[in-house]
Amino acid sequence: MNETALYIHIPFCDHKCIYCDFYSIITTDNISSYKEALIKEIDYYSSLYSEESYITSIYFGGGTPSLMEARYLYDIINHIKTKFHVAPAPEISMETNPGTVNKNKLKEFLRLGINRISIGVQSFDENELKFLTRIHDKKTAIATVFNALEVGFENISIDLIFNLPKQTKWTWRRNIEIATLLPINHISAYSLILERGTILNKMVLDGKVALQDEDYDADLYEITIKELEERGFQQYEVSNFAKPGFECLHNTAYWRYKNYIGFGTSAHSFMNDKRWWNYSSLKLYQARVAEKGMAEANYEIISPEESISEYIMLALRSYGIEISKMEKRFGKEWMEKNMNYLQILTDNNFIIVNNNWIKLTKKGYTICDEIISKFK
């Protein structure tokens, strides 16, 4: 059996933030019928892949999964365990937003099987939170972290966003300082990306908001790497930092090019060199699942050339390329074609090649996409 990660998309939200491009809906309608559709979709894919899949992680994303009652998520987890071969102690993650859960609800989530929580803080600066249209303030964000700790969560992550309009280096350093003083063991730090279709995109097009330039973004990213590592958070992916032993097992499956199955609206899957994705519309998703047991909107078969390119990209963005495993899977052609380029990168301190590994340096991480684009 192959290690496989499962993702469940819960699209329901209480508020749409200006920068968010994930599929989410501001309604309490269809919550019950949506769970029924998820159960049916789980049945469909377990009939295809349960014998070859060993489930090591389950991830509830959204939307805001924590808006659901704990029993709602438990029913899904329990059904997965009846349909798939699940590891004895899988990592089960749930995204939540400050202000959407109290201590009692967090305790219920933990009791029913959620053992990792990812809190969408984004910033500890009140002006930045207002700009991002978050529903919480700094005090609530900090309280949510401590509530999670007090009820028994040992694996706590937070999200932060940098390079916001008018964000100073001092403000970003202050965000990092506050975050690292909290009882957390994982930080996802993302640069603000302007996505089509978002409220923020329209604000920029209308001239109401001006984004900062790429050089400033690079400066903030360098600050992020330096200051987080000085505070004990090791970088293990371009945007992710963890204390030793607290790397996100679920996301690691993506970066190590392992199989994963996504359930729910807009969810993506990757199994045996086939990638597919579901319809985003809740109405269309539920109709297709009712009709066919699944809601695949489209798919692609990954060619051998695409496969190695994706493998290299994901590996360099995270742990690095383990040369022996890469050559066992794809052969030695890639190394031979790129030997000269690898030497140039080494000479310029963008990568380190030793002990069977190729890894980006801190300097290399800052231009990761540019480096990857030039491989043959």
Query: Which of 240, 255, 270 is the last residue in one of the domains?
Result: 255
Q: What is the 3-state secondary structure (H, E, C) of the chain?
A: CEEEEEEEEECECCCCCCCCCCCCECCCCCHHHHHHHHHHHHHHHHHHHHHHEEEEEEEEEECCHHHCCHHHHHHHHHHHHHHCEEEEEEEEEEEECCCCCCHHHHHHHHHCCCCEEEEEEECCCHHHHHHCCCCCCHHHHHHHHHHHHHHCCCCEEEEEEECCCCCCHHHHHHHHHHHHHCCCCEEEEEECCCCCCCHHHHHHHCCCCCCCCHHHHHHHHHHHHHHHHHCCCEEEECCEEECCCCCCHHHHHHHCCCEEEEECCCCEEEECCEEEEECCCHHHHHHHHHHHCCCEEEEEECCHHHHHHHHHHHHHHCCCEEHHHHHHHHCCHHHHHHHHHHHHHHHCCCEEEECCEEEECHHHHCCHHHHHHCCC
pLDDT band at 63 (very low <50, low <70, confident <90, very high): confident
Per-residue pLDDT at 21 exceeds 70: no
Residue-range definition of the domain harbouring residue 327: 321-373
- Kindly state whether residues 249 and 349 are assigned to the same domain: no
Domain presence at residue 266: no
Domain presence at residue 265: no
- Kindly state whether residues 248 and 335 are assigned to the same domain: no
The predicted-structure confidence for 336-350, as pLDDT tens digits, reads as follows 999 999 999 999 999
pLDDT band at 99 (very low <50, low <70, confident <90, very high): confident
Sheet containing 357-360: give its strands across: 321-322, 357-360, 351-354
Predicted pLDDT at 17:
62
Per-residue pLDDT at 295 exceeds 90: yes
Query: Which of 197, 222, 255 is the last residue in one of the domains?
Result: 255
- Kindly state whether residues 71 and 200 are assigned to the same domain: yes
Lowest mean pLDDT among 28-32, 86-90, 148-152, 301-305: 28-32
The predicted-structure confidence for 256-286, as pLDDT tens digits, reads as follows 999 999 999 999 999 999 999 999 999 999 9
| Residue 346 Cα to chain centre, angstroms | 30
Distance CA 129, CA 48 (A): 44
Domain presence at residue 364: yes
- Kindly state whether residues 182 and 84 are assigned to the same domain: yes
Domain presence at residue 312: no
Predicted pLDDT at 366:
84
Distance CA 78, CA 38 (A): 12
Query: Which of 199, 227, 255 is the last residue in one of the domains?
Result: 255
Mean pLDDT, range 147-176, rounded to an integer = 95
Distance CA 247, CA 237 (A): 9
- Kindly state whether residues 116 and 213 are assigned to the same domain: yes
The predicted-structure confidence for 181-221, as pLDDT tens digits, reads as follows 999 999 999 988 766 767 666 766 777 777 778 889 899 99
Predicted pLDDT at 282:
93
Instruction: Say how many domains are in the chain.
Output: 2
Domain presence at residue 263: no
- Kindly state whether residues 70 and 169 are assigned to the same domain: yes
- Kindly state whether residues 121 and 203 are assigned to the same domain: yes
pLDDT band at 20 (very low <50, low <70, confident <90, very high): low
pLDDT band at 246 (very low <50, low <70, confident <90, very high): very high
Predicted pLDDT at 13:
83
Q: What is the CATH number of the domain that holds 62?
A: 3.20.20.70
- Kindly state whether residues 353 and 237 are assigned to the same domain: no
Distance CA 370, CA 228 (A): 24
- Kindly state whether residues 82 and 164 are assigned to the same domain: yes
**Residue % of the chain over a pLDDT of 90:** 78
Of 206 and 93, which is predicted with more confidence?
A: 93
Predicted pLDDT at 131:
81
